[in-house]
Amino acid sequence: MFDALTEKLSGVFDRLGGRGVLSEKDVDEALREVRVALLDADVALPVARDFIAKAKERAAGEAVVRSVRPADQVVKIVYDGLIETLGGEEPVPLNLAAAPPAVILMAGLQGSGKTTTAAKLALRISKTERKKVMMASLDTRRPAAMEQLALLGQQAEVDTLPIVAGQSAPDIARRAMSAAKLAGYDVLILDTAGRTTLDEAMMAEAAEIARISQPTETLLVADSLTGQDAVRTAKAFHERLPLTGLILTRADGDGRGGAALSMRAVTGLPIKFLGAGEKIDALDVFDARRVAGRILG
Ligand code: GDP
């Protein structure tokens, strides 16, 4: 997802490294090129601006031009800046601390990969954390979505709430919670209905489900291929829902990486996972340090 950015940044650093002794003007010029590379990768303008302002401050504070290996120092400053922009060094684990079942609410636009990601999470939590997981689809408008979740549940070997036609989404949420409680499930993943565009009815329904189910995690699934639209979507959802984190899908695609780089700074929310393929086990914990390392090649 970051290939083009990686290539541009390595070009900047190669030119800088080739110079040996650096002046402040050289460092400024390199950081200007880093800014252009970030914007080309579709990073939000205020995020790129802030990134460069901080990098300049650090370069001045650490007296880069007088250091032994100034070009390496600049690379280190960019690396640290990327980690900070991506949300810090340590991955943020899922919060499942609640009287069982801990509820995870999945939100997002239709087509973002929400249902697939619900199943990927269910698989991860049941296999790696050895917890008993149930999933339920609240998409009352699209029976196919409910069936899709049931199928994915079979693949993940995770139970899904039996489908009962004609129930409202809040009713299904209540039924899922009592069923999960009665049968001793540790975690309940609720897959809310998606729409193709942001609309008030979808937001109001998701907000009501959040009130009813009191999730410990409310995760927005956003498609990284949609770039700045994904960031706008996350912002709009966060204004209506108490989101606790983000999952970016299609990190295996040829997106430019701007969404991943802007999300945290624009929304203040941690990216918790990256969807990295269609397969049900293609979900990576988001690790800012690893991603920053990958960007720098
Ligand atoms: P929903 O409408 O948001 O629930 O989206 P779906 O879960 O039905 O996913 C839509 C399509 O995107 C499906 O074909 C998924 O297999 C695919 N998909 C989901 N996540 C990823 C991902 O991380 N990478 C890739 N390449 N495809 C994905």
Nearest-atom index, ligand 1, CA of 249: 23
Nearest residue (CA) to ligand 1, atom 16: 278
Is the predicted pLDDT of residue 185 greater than 80, yes or no? yes
Among 109, 274, 278, 286, say which to mutate for ligand 1: greatest number of ligand atoms within 8 Å of CB: 278
Q: Yes or no: say if 119 and 155 are a contact pair by the CB < 8 Å rule.
A: yes
Cβ–ligand 1 contact at 284 (below 6 Å): no
Q: What three-state secondary structure class fits 243? A: coil
Nearest-atom index, ligand 1, CA of 118: 7
| Tens digit of each residue's pLDDT (9 = 90 or more) over 97-134 | 999 999 999 999 999 999 999 999 999 999 998 999 99
Is the predicted pLDDT of residue 80 greater than 80, yes or no? yes
Cα(186)–Cα(180) distance, rounded to whole angstroms? 8
Nearest-atom index, ligand 1, CA of 276: 23
Confidence bin at 265 (pLDDT 50/70/90)? very high
Instruction: Give the DSSP letter of residue 248.
Output: E
Cα(110)–Cα(125) distance, rounded to whole angstroms? 24
Closest by CA position to 140, among listed 71, 75, 190, 65: 190
State the distance from the centre of ligand 1 to the C-alpha of 146, rounded, in angstroms: 15
Confidence bin at 220 (pLDDT 50/70/90)? very high
Cβ–ligand 1 contact at 120 (below 6 Å): no
Confidence bin at 56 (pLDDT 50/70/90)? very high
Work out the percent of the chain whose per-residue pLDDT is above 70. Answer: 100
23 φ, ψ to 5°? Answer: -100, 170
Confidence bin at 22 (pLDDT 50/70/90)? confident
Cβ–ligand 1 contact at 255 (below 6 Å): no
Closest by CA position to 276, among listed 246, 253, 245: 253
- DSSP one-letter string for 142-191: -HHHHHHHHHHHHHHT-EEPPP-TT--HHHHHHHHHHHHHHTT-SEEEEE
Cβ–ligand 1 contact at 277 (below 6 Å): yes
Mean confidence (pLDDT) of the chain? 94
Confidence bin at 291 (pLDDT 50/70/90)? very high
Cβ–ligand 1 contact at 48 (below 6 Å): no
Residues near 6 by beta carbon (within 8 Å), at least 6 away in sequence = 294, 295, 296, 297
State the distance from the centre of ligand 1 to the C-alpha of 195, rounded, in angstroms: 14
| Tens digit of each residue's pLDDT (9 = 90 or more) over 118-174 | 999 999 999 998 999 999 999 998 889 999 999 999 999 999 999 998 999 999 999
Residue with tokens 């209506």: 240
Is the predicted pLDDT of residue 9 greater than 90, yes or no? yes
